Amino acid sequence: DQQVKQNSPSLSVQEGRISILNCDYTNSMFDYFLWYKKYPAEGPTFLISISSIKDKNEDGRFTVFLNKSAKHLSLHIVPSQPGDSAVYFCAASAYNHHAGGTSYGKLTFGQGTILTVHP
Amino acid sequence: DTGVSQDPRHKITKRGQNVTFRCDPISEHNRLYWYRQTLGQGPEFLTYFQNEAQLEKSRLLSDRFSAERPKGSFSTLEIQRTEQGDSAMYLCASSLGGVLYGYTFGSGTRLTVV
C-alpha cells in the first residue's frame, strides 16, 4: 500500500529554469509533509517542510505547495542549478498511537524523483 | 559533532549469518530512527526510539530483526539468519523531536547478502 507516491521517476531541467517535483498521498491523516534531497552514497538531507494548516512554505529557492483537497504537494526550485541534481523524496507524517503514547514519529516516503539540471 | 555516524559503511555477508550495525546519533537528539532503502525505492520505516524506549516497530521488522538503544545514546540493529532479501541500505536518523524540522540521516550501511 503506497501511501505516498511520486509518479515521475525523473525530471530534466535547464539551468536557471523552474523545477517542479510532484507528490500525491492517500492517507488523509497525514499532518506534516517534508522534502528530502539525496546525493549518491549519502543519506537523505532535509530540505523543507509544511504543516497541513498551511498551503505554502518558502525557503530561499525552494517553495513547497500543499493542496489538501487534492492530496497533492509539490516542490518548486527557482532558479534551478546544476548542484540541485539529485534524487528528491517527499515524505509525510501522521499522528500515531503506539506503546509509548502518541507522536509524529514515523515518516512515510515516496519512491523518489531523479532531478537532472543541465548547464 | 559531525552528524549521524553509521558503522560499517559496507557489509558483505553469507546467507544465514548474523550481522549487527551501529548508529551514533547527534548527541543532543533524543529520537533515533532506522529505515531500510532498496534500489529505486524511498526509505521504509523500520523502528524508532525516544531515548531508550522503542516506541514503534514496522511490520516489515520480522522476528529476525532486533534493535536496541541502551542508555538512550547509540543504537544497534541486528539481523539474524540473513536472507538475500535483506540486501539493502540501512539508514539511521536522529532528531530532537519536532517533525517539521526534519530528521538528520547518516550515510547508511549497505548490506549485501550473498
Contact B36, B28 (CB under 8 A): no
Q: What was the pLDDT predicted at B58? A: 87
> CA–CA distance from A96 to each of A30, A31, A69, A99 (Å)?
10, 11, 22, 10
Determine the distance from the C-alpha atom of residue B32 to the mean position of all C-alpha atoms in its chain, rounded to a whole number.
9
Determine the distance from the C-alpha atom of residue A72 to the mean position of all C-alpha atoms in its chain, rounded to a whole number.
10
Residues shown for chain A: 119
B102 band by pLDDT with thresholds 50, 70 and 90? confident
Helices (H), chain A: none
Cβ contact A98–B106 (<8 Å):
no
Q: What was the pLDDT predicted at A79? A: 98
Contact A48, A54 (CB under 8 A): no
Does any CB of chain B come closer than 8 Å to the CB of residue A45?
yes
Question: What share of chain B in percent tops pLDDT 70?
Answer: 98
B56 band by pLDDT with thresholds 50, 70 and 90? confident
Per mean pLDDT, which of A6-20, B37-51, B61-75, B97-111 is the most reliable?
A6-20
The tens-digit pLDDT sequence of chain A (119 residues) is: 689 999 999 999 999 999 999 999 999 989 999 999 999 989 999 999 999 999 999 999 999 999 999 999 999 999 999 999 999 999 999 876 655 555 667 899 999 999 999 99
Q: What was the pLDDT predicted at B2? A: 72
Does any CB of chain A come closer than 8 Å to the CB of residue B104?
yes
Minimal Cα–Cα distance from A119 to chain B, Å? 26
The SS3 assignment for A99 reads coil
Q: For residue A78, give the nearest of A25, A18, A15, A7 by alpha carbon.
A: A18
Cβ contact A49–B101 (<8 Å):
yes
Q: Is the pLDDT of residue B101 over 60?
A: yes
Q: What was the pLDDT predicted at A100? A: 54
User: What are the chain B neighbours of A49 within 8 Å (beta carbons)?
Assistant: 99-102
> CA–CA distance from A53 to each of A28, A89, A99 (Å)?
13, 21, 27
Cβ contact A49–B99 (<8 Å):
yes
Which residue of A93, A100, A111 is in closest CB contact with B42?
A111
Residue A43, CB half-sphere, CA atoms under 13 Å: how many? 24
Q: For residue B34, give the nearest of B75, B86, B88, B81 by alpha carbon.
A: B75
For chain A, what is the radius of gyration of the CA atoms? 14
Mean pLDDT of B56-63: 84
Q: Is the pLDDT of residue B112 over 60?
A: yes
The SS3 assignment for A77 reads strand
